[in-house]
Chain A
């Protein structure tokens, strides 16, 4: 029985170029430019953002990759956990702020 999300599959990321090479090349160039360079944000800050997004999007490949990237750019476990908490509170906040919509509609529904 095979399973989804084999860690070895992360090495096959480049294979997304099969059947759509130009689009993959364009993506990887863009990806490398955004995440692999110091810009207005440092590579360390970008890695922490990517780690938070990895959790929010629940991508095991990205969590492994950006845990390593955070370590290799000098972050420590406290900073990494705080980044995950940012993702967590954003998701909770997004859920909760939708209750405003619920309350708006509730007001219409209640005499």
Chain B
């Protein structure tokens, strides 16, 4: 049995071997800098999205310890070149220390981004029932950049991916953000939306889709936002399971491979950020984190926040695998959207 499994892994690696793809083209992708500390502080979420690479849900209990939060803040304090803190989850606002984490990072002068799923404002904490309606005011007070998933400007695609009723709640939550100035021209409060395809296909061009979102959301709901980020679905975890169950994995991987774009490869986000898991382990990105592919230094030792050294992290080789083809297909994909024109 184990021999069969091993053979399957070897075959998959040879067919969708990202390292081989870039090597064939003479592309090298060393880390360039660490300007963003992306921290996944909890896998708890009020939603159960069908494509979620974190497998987040209302029943998850993993969360970063107070010591872990303190260590992330200490890293930011020691390294002013890490200018941005990107807090993600799950729904990161459900972590009991979320507010304090944001406030302390802001006090350190860092640009704080929160991956905010919108509906948590209305749903609150599914385990403690704690309300989260204060979030728009809290975000505004701390001038947090809000990045929110909205897979389409219509209900059909949005609810198909994120659950029944999510679109209507998202519109209400966006209104509350707009009401305190988010996404409103001249306010300086940034509200950026994230588009994901709702199935195994590549995102439409970012600029055109952003124009559609702006026109439709304004016309139908009176809502505004700043930028739209298009992100490709990664063939891992929950989305991978869907691909396997529907017999579409091979087709999707072939599509990603055929659409490999060297310009997108040059701009992959793992070259300028590190991702921290709830237990303090460090990864090259959030996707590697979910696959438990620890970032390792040149001596082969895993990196953690508890013995963090910037030079050691910068000298590492980024770990790639088949899923990385998702970040290099077409116009590219990152937590900040497309990476190539």
Contacts and interface: CB of A to CB of B under 8 A. Distances in A.
Interface stretch (B39-47, B121-129, B200-208): B200-208
Contacts of A73: 204-205, 208
Interface residues of A, number: 10
A71 interface: yes
Interface string B204-233: 110011001000000000000000000000
A74 interface: yes
B201 A74 contact: no
Contact of B201 (A42, A71, A76): A71
B157 A74 contact: no
A44 interface: yes
Residue among A44, A72, A74 having the largest count of chain B Cβ atoms under 10 Å? A74
B199 A71 contact: yes
Contacts of A44: 204, 208
Interface string B58-95: 00000000000000000000000000000000000000
Interface string B154-192: 101100000000000000000000000000000000000
B152 interface: yes
Per DSSP, chain B at the interface is loop
B197 interface: yes
Contacts of A71: 197, 199, 201, 204
Contact of B156 (A68, A72, A77): A77
Interface string A4-16: 0000000000000
Given A71-B197, A71-B199, A76 B154 contact: yes
B201 A68 contact: yes
A81 to B, nearest CB: 11
A14 to B, nearest CB: 12
Nearest to B208: A74
Contact of B204 (A72, A77, A78): A72
Contacts of A74: 204-205, 208-209, 212
A38 to B, nearest CB: 9
A73 B156 CA distance: 17
B156 A76 contact: yes
A68 B255 CA distance: 11
Contacts of B208: 42, 44, 73-74
Interface in A32-82: 42, 44, 68, 71-74, 76-78
5 contacts: A68-B201, A71-B199, A73-B208, A74-B209, A76-B152
Interface of B: 152, 154, 156-157, 197, 199, 201-205, 208-209, 212
